[in-house]
Amino acid sequence: MAFFSLNFSLLLFLLTTITSFSLTTSTPTIGVTIQHHPSSATPEHIAAAVNRHRIAAVRLIDPDPNLIRAFSYSSVSLLLCIPNTLVHSLAANRSNAAVWLYTHVVPFYPRAKISAISVGSDILSSSDDLADALLPAIRNIHVALHELGIRRISVSSTFSLIPLITSAFPPSSAEFGEPVNDHLIRPLLDFLEEANSSFLVNIHPYDLYRLNHEIVLGYALFQKSRYSFVDDPTTGVRYQNLFDTMVDAVLSAMAVAGHENIPVVVTETGWPNSPATLEENNANQVFAEMYLRGLLKHLKSGVGTPLKKEGVSGVYIYELFDKERGQGNSNASLRQWGIFYPNLTSKYDLDYSGSYRTAESNGFLKILAVSLVVLALL
């Protein structure tokens, strides 16, 4: 009888810890985009700073092979972006896709945890017409990966909300605009569904806020107040922040296109800490910190968005470093988004480690394994 009660309470303990453990893993992966970096910082310094701040994922725009290599043997997952300038050549010939993979993936994978590749970014805003080449380029990278025996790297493309959908409000009325929808987005969503890939989208509440004077600042900055909510008249859903409004607009547009089950990853979001022009008086470090604090709290709460309780599956903060002022951009007024100083310390007292696999959680898994063995012995 004593045996039984011991066993039983242990079992109960395990069940509750297992449950709470799996609950915590349902929050989105929190990562950061690296576009610019200080010339003083080596790839190894940058990778060490990311690890030190327990940032789980990094999105590399125009990835430098040395920077990819620097993330070897770390648990940081990498999203590599292929520049728009390569889309035509990747679409034209699969051996060009293989060449790209031979320089950016093969030498480092799987020691560097490359998890996804985005072919092109925001191609709808590009001056070149890339719409016809995009899907063939994505397929060539996908097939070339399979030919190399690599099946765990997913392939997609990144879009920006603003030219993509007809209007962000109310979210329930959002649709992908024509002719892009029929021509590009639907076939792309079919591919993503088939290949178990994600839809990647940049969500910049700052841009929408700047363009739309009816939006209350607190609503854009995750500040709860009597005034900072918006109701969707069609669904009756109340929105407490602009980020959720924009994410749900994407989800609605995907649902209209018949693909609401594809996971959504927010590849960029943030708030500028310094303005491009004097009129942008809401681009400053105080509001940037408020935005990020609100965003992180919201993501870690695991409540998702009104239309999707699991929410998005990942979010990359834009961006790790400010642009360097220097040749070409000596202009003192330059919109900046960096969350780290050039000396690789965080500007804000924030915990970016949403789902980073810490030594602690590894330790927890070990305790769990030991407990299971003990349980089996009893």
Name the residues that contact ligand NAG, by CB under 6 A.
Answer: 93, 95, 195-196, 276-277, 331, 333, 341, 343, 345
Which of 181, 191, 180, 105 lies closest to 155 in space, CA to CA? Answer: 191
The shares of helix, strand and coil residues in the chain, as percent rounded to the nearest 5, are: 45, 15, 40
**Beta carbon nearer to ligand NAG, 215 or 262:** 262
Q: Look up residue 347 and give its two tokens.
A: 């500007």
User: C-beta of 348: minimal distance to ligand NAG in Å?
Assistant: 12
* Closer residue to ligand NAG in complex, CB, 239/340: 340
Q: Which is nearer to ligand NAG, 94 or 308 (CB)?
A: 94
| Residue 372 beta carbon to ligand NAG: minimum distance, rounded to whole angstroms | 26
Residue burial 208-221, b: 16+ Cβ < 10 Å; e: rest: bbbeeeebeebbbb
Q: What are the angstrom distances between the C-alpha of 93 and each of 87, 89, 158, 197, 356? A: 10, 6, 21, 22, 38
Consecutive H or E run containing 11: helix 2-24
> Is residue 321 within 8 Å of 64, Cβ to Cβ?
no
Rounded Cα distance between 222 and 220, Å, is: 6
- Residue closer to ligand NAG by CB (options 181, 198) is 198
Strands (E), the chain: 29-34, 57-60, 77-82, 113-121, 154-160, 199-202, 230-231, 238-239, 264-269, 314-318
Place of tokens 């005034």: 227
40 or 333: whose CB is closer to ligand NAG? 333
**Cβ-based nearer residue to ligand NAG, 277 or 327:** 277
* Least distance (Å) between residue 153 CB and ligand NAG: 11
Nearer to ligand NAG among residue 38 and residue 304 (C-beta) = 38
**Minimal distance, residue 227 CB to ligand NAG, in Å:** 31
Residues whose CB is less than 8 angstroms from the CB of residue 146 and which lie 6 or more positions away in sequence, other chains included: none
Closest distance to ligand NAG from the beta carbon of 91 (Å): 11
